[in-house]
Amino acid sequence: MLHYFGMGPQLTLSQILKRELIPFTGLYKCRVVYNEDSQFVEFIPYTANQIFSLKVVQDDSIDYSFKFENRKRLKELFELRGSCDDIIIVKNGCITDASYANVVFKRKNEWITPKTYLLNGTMRQQLITDNMIVEEEIREKDIPKFENVKLINSMLGFDGVELPITNIFS
């Protein structure tokens, strides 16, 4: 809100959620859409996608520095995945993110996430703060130097499926 509207939020997330009927059974993603003077909240049933393969796609102009409601460009890039389950986006030669998650790569017993993310996700930032992952510049050509990859976000956590690097296709 500060970036786009020049002011901080008028309500906290907890104040907004107090007005909502929150489901107590099942797993839901809470989506808050807002503008200068209103908020819309919805709870969407959540099932994690099964990811077995990733396709590398290029886009040097994509900007997703905030969690925008308009995901048109991400959807267009996702459509380039071919027979793969998701994508890894490369911007200016550097690895960024998947279509809906940050990525982390395993090298020996260390997990590394790209410094060149599109969106600094909350799970990504928490794992950095907790010293569970570290940031490095990762270029597309560096992918074979890693053993595994996994996707992380606030819904998936860090316990998601690890894929071998051989399941990433150019």
pLDDT in tens, 95-124: 999 999 999 999 999 999 999 999 999 999
User: Binning pLDDT at 50, 70 and 90, where does residue 4 land?
Assistant: low
Please return the burial class of 3, using the count of CB atoms within 10 Å of its CB with bins 0-12, 13-18 and 19+. exposed
114 pairs with which residues across the strands?
Answer: 136
Same domain? 76 vs 144: yes
**Are 26 and 68 members of one domain?**
no
Same domain for 38 and 81, yes or no, is no
The CATH number that applies at residue 152 is 3.20.10.10
pLDDT in tens, 50-84: 999 999 999 999 998 877 777 899 999 999 999 99
- Identify whether residues 71 and 23 lie together within a single domain: no
Do 102 and 39 fall within a single domain?
A: no
Residues 13 and 66 in one domain: no
Same domain, 32 and 77: no
DSSP string, 108-156: TTEEEEESS-SS--HHHHHHHHTTSSEEE--BGGGGGG-SEEEEEBTTT
Q: Are 134 and 113 in contact (CB under 8 A)?
A: yes
Better-predicted residue by pLDDT, 33 or 146: 146
Buried-state track 136-154, b at ≥16 Cβ within 10 A, e below 16: bebeeebbeebebbbbbbe
Per the structure, how many domains does the chain have?
Answer: 2
Domain interval for residue 28? 2-45
pLDDT of residue 57: 98
Indicate if 21 and 79 belong to the same structural domain. Answer: no
| pLDDT value at residue 37 | 75
129 sits in the region (left: phi over 0; alpha: psi -120 to 50; else beta) called: alpha
